[in-house]
Amino acid sequence: MKSKIPVGILGYGAYIPRLRLHTKIISAIWRAAGSAAPAVAEKSVPALDEDVITMSIEAGRTALERAGIAPDRIGALWVGTESKPYAVKPSATVVAQALGITPQLVAADMEFACKAGSEAMQAAVAFVGSGLVQGALAIGMDTAQARPGDALEYTAGSGGAAMLFGPASGALALVEASTSFVTDTPDFFRREHAPFPEHGGRFTGEPSYFHHTLSASRRLLNEVGREPKEYAHAVFHQPVPKFVERVAKELGFTEEQVRTGLVARRMGNAYAGSSLLGLAAVLDVARPGDRIFFCSYGSGAGSDAFSFQITGAAANPRRGPTVEDYLSRSHHVGEYGEYLRARRKIRY
């Protein structure tokens, strides 16, 4: 898909909470001694006073500051998440109010499991690319839930990023094309009143993550007529580092190309925030002319693939906290009970 009007990223911002949990603390409670090491060594944990709304506000503020455009130029804002503070009441309106963007805008929350954030990106490109709005903010953010002791608890992290899309002139990265690939595949889901998701174990792999990510990626590469080696960076959704390494290999991307975007190694899987956070990490260091390949994945299931190219415009893109600033800001939760309290898993 290519928009009629060229679209680019005017600004972006990330957010990762300060708290960390060493995943071996989870193992000590739930696993037998000598079990395999967890997929990531530590994950980010939101504080009791944080949620998708507060995190989106901070990421959004950074995106606006970097873009340097007046808030009233933004005509749309979507928050893509699977950990909405309210089941009914949009996070997007609180975020928009806090950013000073209200009232002249389209706003809503989106859900498509881990690809809700890139879903918002597709909508942003469409609204800007059709000339409906001058600026559209797409946010992917999560405080991922996982049942205590479940495999997901070892990787479910928190964080995300905001991408501000606008007309290509003045953008720091251009959107070359995008595509989406979607089927009904029930690999992972959460019912309305359930506090934790269910998942299909190994079914989440080949027929789910890999099938959709590979299909969307190959389709996009075909559409833009490019080969993986033309890209300086590649960002994928990151449930565990191994999945990213394998899908990269199957597509023909190198370890080097995926390294910068693979933030999950240091903070776990931020669900709808994961791929956007990877993209933000790449934007922090990418150089003019660099092409960036992006493919998200969301359970249920589907993938959004994008092809970007960094422009020559500096546009103060790197003012404010970088992904590295957030990754290196950490305070470890000392023990499992403290973590359970922070994640509100203790009901009373």
Partner 1 sequence: MDLPRYHRLRAPYYRLEGQRCGSCGSIQYPSRTACRSCHSRELQPHPLSGRGTIFSYTQVGQPPQGFAGPYLVAMVQLEEGVRVTAQLTDVEPHEVEIGLPVEMVVRRLREYGPNGYLVYGYKFRPRIASRAD
Binding site for partner 1 (CB under 8 A): 18, 47-51, 53-54, 57-58, 62, 65, 85-86, 94, 97-98, 100, 316, 319-322, 325-326, 329, 331
Write down the H helix ranges in the chain. 23-30, 52-67, 91-99, 116-129, 211-224, 241-251, 255-259, 264-267, 274-285, 323-328, 336-342
d(CA 164, CA 12): 6
For partner 1, the closer of residues 33 and 346 by Cβ is 346
Minimum Å gap between C-beta 292 and partner 1 is 23
- Residue whose C-alpha is closest to residue 5's, from 223, 122, 167: 167
Cβ nearer to partner 1, comparing 86 with 203: 86
8-state DSSP, 205: I
| Residue 84: Cβ-neighbour burial (10 angstroms; 0-12, 13-18, 19+) | buried
Nearer to partner 1, 71 or 241 (CB): 71
The answer to whether residues 310 and 233 touch, using CB atoms and an 8 Å cutoff, is no
Active centre residues (catalytic): 82, 114, 237
Residue in 177, 216, 176, 205 with CA at minimum distance from that of residue 296: 216
Picking from 65, 52, 121, the residue whose alpha carbon sits closest to that of residue 271 is: 52
Shortest spacing between CB 325 and partner 1, in angstroms: 5
Shortest Å distance, C-beta 201 to partner 1? 31
Nearer to partner 1, 101 or 113 (CB): 101
Q: CA torsion angle for 140, 322, 49, 24 (degrees, to 10)?
A: 90
> Least distance in Å: CB of 65 to partner 1?
4
Q: How far is the CB of 282 from partner 1 (least distance, A)?
A: 18
CB-facing half-sphere around the CA of 311: CA atoms within 13 A:
21
Q: Which is nearer to partner 1, 67 or 114 (CB)?
A: 67
Choose among 46, 124, 118, 51: nearest CA to 80.
118
Burial 210-232 (b: 16+ CB within 10 A, else e): bbbbbbbbbbbbebbebeeeebb
- Shortest Å distance, C-beta 229 to partner 1: 34
- In terms of CB distance, is 15 or 308 closer to partner 1? 15
